[in-house]
């Protein structure tokens, strides 16, 4: 019997940034691979630092499909929120294609909802709120599509360890070794429940001492600064504009309009997706009891101005069962009804 085959797709989080081993990165995906099967799982990491959903769809997915993996992780989207080209409809369309492609092959897909970078960096609300709004939109799309395709979904944004400083690396954007181990542990538990992880789970305790303060400062002054400059060249002009819009609405007491506008964008993005070809998928693929996307729950009320906005969607991914026979491909329950257009700013 061949060993289980696991392929990881995504950005710097899955590449392993924040968990240095030797001259490279290890990360949560490599830690997870070590506890999947005996003989040891065949592990391929295709993740690339800075990758966006478009990179995963166009570059990483074709390579992954040729390997015909049993398990594939797809954690991506944070970099999309940091670009001036952010488009939630395109993000939803790309992720839908990626998840559908793996599901048609009978591959178990791993996904996650992630914290927004503004919160992790401790940005003031005027700058952090626009980024939080974008990440919340991405997370809702990921959560919804995870239910649609029966993915193994980690709602990491609500985990207690997320806000523990010791879990994060010097840049505060990537987990340190402890944080990577927490992600691996949680995915291992869910895969074990499905019978896809049969070996010992990774230890939560770090193998290496954390970087010294001087080493952290050196990293921030070199690689960290370069990272900020690359991102700011693209994002900063738009972030200034978004902050100005945030200030104007805050002064008028109408920031809820921005939330409603973002919610409307997510609703339209999901409504625009075509129904998946369920009847052509393997029998092993399950669907939630609701058979399709969850009902839109609306956008959370904005927090006070002094606090960074964080995700508040606490819904758990339900247990899955085989799709009922005879479900027509045109069943419109697979997409939510569009939300009313928000008021003009």
- In order of 7, 72, 146, 342, the CA distances from 339 in angstroms are 37, 33, 21, 8
- Please check the confidence at residue 83 and state whether its pLDDT lies above 60: yes
pTM given for the model: 0.77
- Please check the confidence at residue 113 and state whether its pLDDT lies above 80: yes
- What share of the chain in percent tops pLDDT 90? 53
Q: Which ranges of 122-224 does DSSP label H, i.e. alpha helix? A: 125-149, 177-193, 213-219
- Please check the confidence at residue 332 and state whether its pLDDT lies above 50: no
Name the band, by pLDDT with cuts 50, 70 and 90, for residue 3. Answer: confident
pLDDT tens digits, one per residue of 207-243: 887 766 776 666 656 665 666 666 666 667 777 888 8
pLDDT tens digits, one per residue of 158-190: 788 887 878 888 777 789 999 999 999 999 999
Token digits of residue 131:
């980024």
Give the separation between CA 48 and CA 8, rounded to whole angstroms.
10
Contact 65, 103 (CB under 8 A): no
How high is the pLDDT of residue 160?
81
- Please check the confidence at residue 298 and state whether its pLDDT lies above 90: no
- Average pLDDT for 33-62: 95
Token digits of residue 7:
């392929």
| Bridge partners of residue 74, in order along the sequence | 9
Token digits of residue 185:
């542990």
Name the band, by pLDDT with cuts 50, 70 and 90, for residue 334. Answer: very low
Question: How high is the mean pLDDT of the chain?
Answer: 79
How high is the pLDDT of residue 215?
66
CATH 3.40.50.1110, domain 5-334, yes or no: yes
92 vs 305, higher pLDDT = 92
């Amino acid at each position: 019997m061949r060993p289980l085959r696991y392929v990881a797709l995504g950005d710097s989080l899955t590449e392993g940034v924040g968990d240095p081993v030797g001259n490279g990165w290890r990360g949560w995906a490599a830690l997870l691979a070590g506890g999947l099967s005996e003989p040891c799982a065949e592990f391929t990491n295709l993740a690339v630092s800075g990758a966006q959903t478009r990179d995963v769809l166009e570059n990483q997915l074709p390579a992954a499909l040729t390997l015909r993996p049993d398990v594939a992780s797809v954690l991506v989207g944070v970099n999309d929120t940091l670009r001036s080209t952010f488009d939630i409809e395109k993000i939803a369309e790309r992720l839908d294609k990626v998840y559908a492609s793996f599901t048609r092959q009978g591959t178990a897909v791993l996904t996650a909802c992630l914290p927004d970078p503004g919160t992790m960096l401790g940005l003031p609300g005027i700058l952090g709120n626009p980024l939080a709004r974008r990440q919340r939109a991405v997370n809702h799309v990921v959560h919804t599509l995870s239910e649609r395709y029966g993915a193994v979904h980690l709602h990491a944004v609500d985990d207690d360890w997320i806000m523990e400083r010791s879990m994060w690396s010097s840049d505060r954007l990537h987990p340190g070794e402890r944080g990577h181990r927490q992600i691996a542990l949680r995915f291992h538990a869910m895969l074990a429940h499905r019978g896809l992880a049969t070996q010992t789970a990774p230890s939560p305790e770090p193998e290496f001492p954390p970087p010294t303060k001087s080493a952290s400062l050196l990293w921030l002054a070199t690689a960290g600064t370069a990272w900020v400059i690359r991102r700011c060249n693209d994002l900063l002009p738009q972030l200034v504009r978004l902050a100005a819009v945030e200030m104007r609405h805050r002064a008028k007491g109408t920031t809820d309009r921005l939330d409603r506008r973002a919610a409307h964008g997510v609703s339209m993005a999901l409504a625009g997706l075509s129904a998946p070809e369920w009847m052509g998928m393997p029998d092993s693929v399950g669907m939630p009891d609701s058979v399709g996307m969850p009902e839109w729950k609306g956008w959370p009320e904005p927090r006070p101005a002094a606090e960074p906005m964080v995700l508040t969607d606490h819904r758990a991914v339900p247990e899955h069962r085989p799709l009922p026979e005879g479900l027509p491909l045109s069943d419109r329950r697979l997409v939510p009804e569009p939300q009313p257009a928000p008021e003009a700013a």
